[in-house]
Structure 1
């Protein structure tokens, strides 16, 4: 007689393993759109707690709990990393970090700047965007290219930034209006710049120096005349005192030794 066999399944306690993070939608994420991070892990019994962390440089913050984390991305989200922690009664495990690729339109920083000398106009413009932007200059709505009289220089600023500078020779009378344009696959941003007028290009222009010299000479002359008048008055006053003293001595006359005091 064969006894019936009853199969039993035993589950060994197991802390979380193979913990990972998936991103939806996958690939690049447009600035301002929503993204969902999902934490997955194998554990016995199943994972009881999920905790989400955000890392920015040396700073780490808890940003949520639960298996899913949903938020709207910003430009700064592209420089941050995320990971999850899975935990059950037998232990816990962290996933590796994930970093989002946030794409955004070029953004021209600040107001740009222009300076002027007697011979040149120099302007600079900075922009950031992802994908990294390209830049161009326009003067009187015409695109500027490198030439003897117009020189463009560019400097890469990290993975997403670019600085462009334009130096132009000019005649003394022109006052150029320039346009800085920054473009990537998502669109274009622009900024209008105004070069200083010829009268403003230097605080040490020849007319200013002549006026300053004349004013300085006039002030020195006034000081000299005042000093002369003061000295003359002092000499006159001193002479009058001497004469008064001499008069008193003469009036007193010589002293008679026999006269009683």
Structure 2
């Protein structure tokens, strides 16, 4: 619930604390933000933002795919790493989407509140209902996050944008970032067959370099497993990721027809741990 994370929120205009006033959050300077009937609050500073966010169609695709359990090993690995870190206080998920991974982590961390941060209101409508201890907040990952300094003991970042300076500011000293990113082998059977976006061989090195001034890497593990995907599942996994913005639907259907149904597909990610 949004009430669980209200003590950790900050006004996006002046960074002061926000307090509830009915279905509105207010700061001492008079800025106010109404809570949507779906349970999330938008803390975007004005109408301008740097991202487009996932569409309703992309969110629906992601919800269907994750609910089917195809990525369950990733959620379990993330929850295991979170339990080992055993953070105090807030768990913040930057680019939380539907709240699927945050919900798994909160199940492993009894009593901890969770902040689902995303720019897509369509995703946060689902995130607000994904777990009783999730509060959902619309914000821009590339702008100052609407969380107070040193407010989070743990941050998650799963297939999402990474803002190193803000992650460091929000994490308390000794706090942990758990970051999930695809390896070059992720969905490799579909990349060439369907013309999807591929993963750079140097992706992990580039992530470490960008986060290096702000956080210290302390460990990582690869999670790789086979999946059997139907044609409908393949359409869904394409529709829920960045390739959805770059794939021609007619061309996709033509190429899908050439694939076996079901098709064997590799899921391959890195779960990396960083410390403030």
TM-score, normalisation: structure 2:
0.19
Specify which structure has the higher proportion of strand.
Answer: 1
Name the larger-Rg structure. Answer: 1
TM-score, normalisation: structure 1:
0.20
* Structure with bigger RCO (C-alpha 8 Å, 6+ apart): 2
